[in-house]
């Protein structure tokens, strides 16, 4: 059975890509392993419609020591089901440099690691690569980088980002795309990279996380105001928020705010929660404190972790 690893920093478009990528394996038995870094498996909810067998691992990176046992257990369960293809969507904050070491274990050696494809946001990569060390490692272990959202980027941004990718990994193949579109012929460019000499799995002390729980009487306009205020001090904001006008999906990359009505099924535990992720030098706690001045009556609880 073949395993493909899908990486990419927060908001690069991994879920949209996966919706397209899975169609390449029509007629085959596919097992999806979805890893969300936040406390709620948001992407897993969106991917249920694909009809493949799926397992979620939430609240941490599958490659760090705190979740490694769970990842190995899920992989073993996948093997027992004898799928043709295993697709692993790693958290945007994952450091996947030890993937081949994990798969070399006895009970997992029936898996053939095909390689990693890295999704890259053409607009934001150059900003986050300097402060988020895992970006470089995701690129380093990938043979193919999909430069996504090129329709929203300037020619200068595209050229600069491609230069950065080749600086990190001189042998990487870069393909430009929009909306995570994937051409079948690009599949040949995904291949295993040589194992890196070291796999640094220490926690990234620069990462800041928060979860804001909203009251359901907040209006979409008020919610968008909160997102706009806080967005500049985050890498990523994502969550299903119940509002006075119904359920909305917030899916934001930095100051690029996206807030749309959502008609799908979402568990009660996931409703009302917005996960925020920020990096070194970002004033996440300060901006949330400032937001309470304007939106405090609808912010039921703020959790930091």
- Classify residue 280 as left (phi > 0), alpha (psi -120 to 50) or beta: beta
One domain, residues 10 and 107: yes
H helix or E strand, kind and range, residue 66: helix 65-80
Q: Do 275 and 174 lie in a common domain?
A: no
Euclidean distance between CA atoms 104 and 124, whole angstroms: 35
In-domain check, residue 197: no
The domain in which residue 251 lies consists of 208-304
φ, ψ at 155 (rounded to 5°) = -55, -35
User: Range with the lowest mean pLDDT among 44-48, 50-54, 155-159?
Assistant: 44-48
Q: Cα(130)–Cα(144) distance, rounded to whole angstroms?
A: 21
Q: Residue 19 — φ and ψ, nearest 5°? A: -60, -35
How many Cβ atoms are within 10 Å of 85's Cβ, its own excluded? Answer: 18
pLDDT at residue 48 greater than cutoff 90: no
In whole angstroms, what is the distance from residue 265 CA to residue 164 CA?
40
Final residue of a structural domain among 158, 189, 220: 189
CB 140 within 8 A of CB 169: yes
CATH of residue 260: 3.30.1220.10
Q: How many domains does the chain divide into?
A: 2
Distances (CA, A) of 270 to 42, 148, 155, 254, 305: 8, 28, 39, 22, 17
Residues contacting 84, CB < 8 A, separation 6+ = 1, 2, 25, 28, 29, 30
How high is the pLDDT of residue 3?
95
Give Cα separations from 219 to 118, 230, 268, 272 (angstroms): 36, 17, 19, 12
The tokens describing 180, both together, are: 């995570």
Q: Are residues 221 and 178 in the same domain?
A: no
Torsion sign (Cα): 101, 189, 90, 150: positive
Instruction: Select from 113, 89, 110 the least CA-distant residue to 191.
Output: 113
Q: Is residue 203 part of a domain?
A: no
For residue 283 the two structure tokens come to: 């004033």
107 and 179 part of one domain: yes
pLDDT for 99: 81
Whether residue 47 sits in one domain with residue 135: yes
Could you tell me if residue 52 is inside a domain?
Answer: yes
Average pLDDT over all residues of the chain:
85
DSSP state at residue 8: E
Q: Classify 57 as helix, strand or coil.
A: strand
Mapped onto helix, strand or coil, the DSSP state of residue 212 is: strand
Residues 128 and 223 both lie in one domain: no
CB 233 within 8 A of CB 282: yes
* Mean pLDDT value across residues 195-206: 42
* One domain, residues 160 and 217: no
Cα–Cα distance measured from residue 161 to residue 149, given in angstroms and rounded to the nearest whole number: 12
Is residue 123 a part of any domain in this protein?
Answer: yes
For residue 65, what pLDDT band results from cuts at 50, 70 and 90?
low
Task: Looking at the structure, tell me whether residues 169 and 214 fall in a common domain.
Answer: no
pLDDT over 90 percentage in the chain: 50
* Residue 249: inside a domain: yes
> Do 52 and 19 contact (CB within 8 A), yes or no?
no
Same structural domain, 150 and 279: no
Both 185 and 213 in one domain: the answer is no
pLDDT digits (tens, 9 = 90+) for 29-46: 999 888 865 444 445 555
- Do residue 69 and residue 33 come from a single domain? yes
Q: Say if 91 falls within a structural domain.
A: yes
Judgement on whether residues 158 and 28 belong to the same structural domain of the protein: yes
The string of pLDDT tens digits covering residues 77-119 is 999 999 999 999 888 777 787 787 788 777 788 899 999 999 9
- We report the CATH number of the domain holding residue 61 as 3.40.50.300
């Amino acid at each position: 059975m073949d395993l493909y690893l899908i990486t990419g920093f927060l908001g690069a478009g991994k879920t949209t890509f996966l919706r397209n990528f899975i169609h390449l394996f029509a007629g085959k038995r596919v097992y999806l392993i979805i890893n969300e870094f936040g406390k709620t498996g948001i992407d897993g909810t969106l991917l249920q419609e694909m009809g493949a067998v799926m397992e979620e691992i939430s609240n941490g990176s599958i490659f760090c020591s705190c979740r490694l046992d769970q990842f190995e257990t899920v992989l073993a369960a996948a093997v027992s089901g004898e799928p043709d293809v295993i697709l692993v969507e790693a958290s945007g904050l994952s450091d996947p440099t030890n993937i081949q070491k994990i798969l070399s274990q006895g009970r997992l050696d029936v898996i053939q690691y095909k390689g990693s494809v890295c999704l890259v946001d053409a607009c934001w990569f150059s900003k986050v690569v300097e402060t988020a060390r895992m970006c470089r490692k995701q690129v380093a272990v990938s043979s193919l980088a999909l430069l996504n959202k090129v329709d929203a980027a300037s020619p200068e941004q595209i050229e600069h980002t491609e230069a950065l990718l080749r600086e990190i990994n001189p042998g990487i193949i870069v393909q430009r795309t929009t909306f995570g579109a994937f051409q079948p012929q690009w599949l040949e460019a995904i291949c295993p990279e040589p194992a890196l000499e070291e796999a640094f799995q220490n926690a990234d002390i620069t990462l800041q996380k928060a979860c804001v729980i909203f009251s359901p009487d907040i209006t979409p306009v008020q919610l968008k105001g909160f997102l706009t205020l806080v967005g500049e001090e985050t890498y990523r904001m994502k969550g299903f928020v119940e509002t006075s006008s119904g359920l909305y999906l917030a899916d934001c990359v930095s100051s690029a705010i996206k807030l749309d009505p959502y008609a799908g099924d979402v568990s009660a535990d996931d409703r009302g929660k917005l996960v925020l992720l920020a990096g070194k030098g970002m004033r996440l706690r300060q901006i949330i404190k400032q937001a309470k001045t304007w939106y405090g009556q609808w912010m039921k609880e703020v959790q930091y972790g």
